[in-house]
Amino acid sequence: VTESLESLRATLGKVSDLRSAIAVLSWDQEVNMPPKGAEGRGQQLATLSAYAHRIFTDPGVGVLLQELSGAIETLSPDDAKLVGVTLYDYDRATRLPESFVSELAMECSKAYEVWVRARKESNFSLFRDSLAQIVDLNRRKAAYIGYKDSPYDALLDEYERGMTAAQLTPLFSDLAKAQSALVERIVASPTQPDVAWTAGPWDERAKWDFTVKVLRDLGFDMDAGRQDKSIHPFSTQFDLYDVRVTTRFSPDELFSGLMGTIHECGHALYSQGHDPADRRTPLMDGASLGIHESQSRMWENMIGRSLPFWEHYLPVLRDSFPDRLRGVAPEDAYAAVNCVERSLIRVEADECTYNLHVILRFEIETGLIEGSLSVDDVPDVWNAKIKEYLGLDVPNDAQGCLQDIHWSHGAFGYFPTYTLGNLYAAQLFETIQDAIPDLWDRVRRGEFATLLTWLRENIHRYGRRKLPVEILKDATGQDPDWRPYLRYLENKYGGLYGLSS
C-alpha cells in the first residue's frame, strides 16, 4: 500500500506539473503574448493537455486507485482524502471516450468561431445550429458521466461537486423574486448616489500603485505571486508559492481597476492559503467554483465596498489625487462604489443585479439540457426573463443571449457558481461578524489579518478535502440559503438608498 501510494503520488505530481505548465502558458497568452503567437500557443496547449490527460487516465493509475480504495481504512485520513478525490477525478476523466473528447473539443472550437461572428452581427440564427450541437454533446456527456435525477447534475458537478438542479431551482427562484423586488425599490428611490465626481481621466500609474498597496494590505504574499494587466482580469496558480492576479484600468474610471484587483485577490488569498502538504496533488485546489467565488466576492463586495474600508483608504487615495479628492468624503466613495443600475450585460452588473443575470441563464441552460426548452426559443425566453427580472427591453441578440462566451465554449453548469459564490459569501460573512465582533474597527484601521486567519482556518487550508457544502456547513452550521445574501443587500442598500424597511 505504501508503495502504491508513492507511485500514485509520483504520477499525480507529474500531472500537476503539466497542468502548471498549461497554466503558465495560458497566463502568458493573456498577459504577454504577441498577437502572432496565438497559433503556436494553441498547439503547445493542445499537446500539453493531451499528455496531462493521457498520463492521468492511464489504466495503471486506475489499478493503483482500485487497490488503494480497497485498503482505504488502513490509510491516514489525509491519504484517504487524496485517494477519494483522485478517484472522483479519475472516474470523471475516464468515463468520456477519447473519441468523444476530441469531438467535443472540435465542435466547441468551431462553435466559438461561429459565436464570435454571430455576436458581431448580433444574429442568434447564425449561432442556432452550433448551440444545438453543443447542447446535444453536453447531453451525451451527461449520459457518459451518469446522474440520478437530471442530466444537468452531471455537468454542474464538474464545477460544484455535490450540488444538483433540484437544490438550485427553488433556491434561485425564491432569490430572484426577492432580489428583483429589492432592485425595483432601489431604482425607484429618490435618494441616488452622486457619481459625477468619479468621471475621468484618472492617472493609471497612481491607480496601479494603489491596487498594489491594497493587495499587500489584504495579505497577498508578493514574494509568492504578482499582479499584471490583462484584458479580462483573472487569477491563476502555478504552485502554492506562485499565484498570479491581473487587473485592468480604464482612464475614465477611478474604482474599476481596484475592484478587479480585490476580487482576484480574494481568489488568490484562497490559493495562497492551501496546505503545503497538498502541493502537486489534486487536493491543492479550491473546493469548488462556488466556494472560490465566495472568497473573491466577499473581499470585493463585503470588504472593498464597505464604508469602513473607505474610511481607511480614501485618505490614502487622496494622497495620489490631492486636488481632485479634496472635498470627497469616505461616504461619497462608499456611495459611488455601490451605485445600482439595471443593465443588460452580466459582466457590468453590480452586486444587486448580478444574481438576476445568472439565474436566467441557469433557468435557460437547465431547460436546454433537460429538454424542456428548445434552442429556437432561447432569444425569446432570454428577453422575457430580462423583462421580468430587470424590467428592461433587450434591443438585440448581442446585448442579449449572445453576450457570454460560456455556452460556445461548451460550458454548461458553470453559471450558477457565480450566484452560489454570493450566497456562500453572505452566509460565511454573517458567521465571521459573530466570530470577529470588532471586524469593522479592524477594517477601519486597514487590518485584515484577523479576517484572513479565519478564512485560512475555516476554508482555505482544506483545499478539496471537503465538499463545498461541508465547508459551508462546518463553518456556518447552515446549508446553502439565499436569505443571508438578501439580508446583506437590504441592510446595505436600505441605508444607501434611504429605503424604509
**Smallest distance from the beta carbon of 279 to a second copy, in angstroms?**
7
Q: Look-up: residue for cell 428592461?
A: 392
Please report, as a single letter, which amino acid is at residue 150: S
Q: Give the list of residues 6+ apart from residue 442 with CB closer than 8 angstroms, or none.
A: 436, 448, 450, 451
Cβ proximity to a second copy, 20 vs 173, nearer residue: 20
**Smallest distance from the beta carbon of 344 to a second copy, in angstroms?**
34
**Smallest distance from the beta carbon of 55 to a second copy, in angstroms?**
9
**Smallest distance from the beta carbon of 267 to a second copy, in angstroms?**
16
Residue 201: cis peptide before it, omega within 30 degrees of 0? yes
Indicate the SS3 state at residue 226. Answer: strand
Please report, as a single letter, which amino acid is at residue 263: H
Pairing, β 225-229 against β 235-239: unpaired
Cβ proximity to a second copy, 246 vs 417, nearer residue: 246
With contact defined as beta carbons under 8 Å apart, do 149 and 457 qualify?
no
Indicate the SS3 state at residue 229. Answer: strand
Cβ proximity to a second copy, 221 vs 490, nearer residue: 221
Cβ proximity to a second copy, 25 vs 314, nearer residue: 25
How far from each other are the two terminal CA atoms of the chain, in whole angstroms?
62
**Smallest distance from the beta carbon of 463 to a second copy, in angstroms?**
16
Cβ proximity to a second copy, 197 vs 241, nearer residue: 241
Beta strands in 110-251 (DSSP E): 225-229, 235-239, 242-247
The residue ranges that bind a second copy (CB under 8 A) are: 13-14, 17-18, 20-21, 24-25, 28, 32-37, 39-41, 43-44, 46-48, 51, 221-226, 228, 238-242, 279-280
Which cell numbers hold the place of 481? 440559503
Q: Is 113 a catalytic residue?
A: no
The active-site residue, picked from 73, 98, 184, 264, is 264
Q: What stretches of 57-97 show up as alpha helix (H) in DSSP?
A: 59-70, 77-95
- 129 vs 103, 114, 126, 235, CA distance in Å? 16, 10, 7, 33
Please report, as a single letter, which amino acid is at residue 70: G
Query: Which residues have a catalytic role annotated?
Result: 264
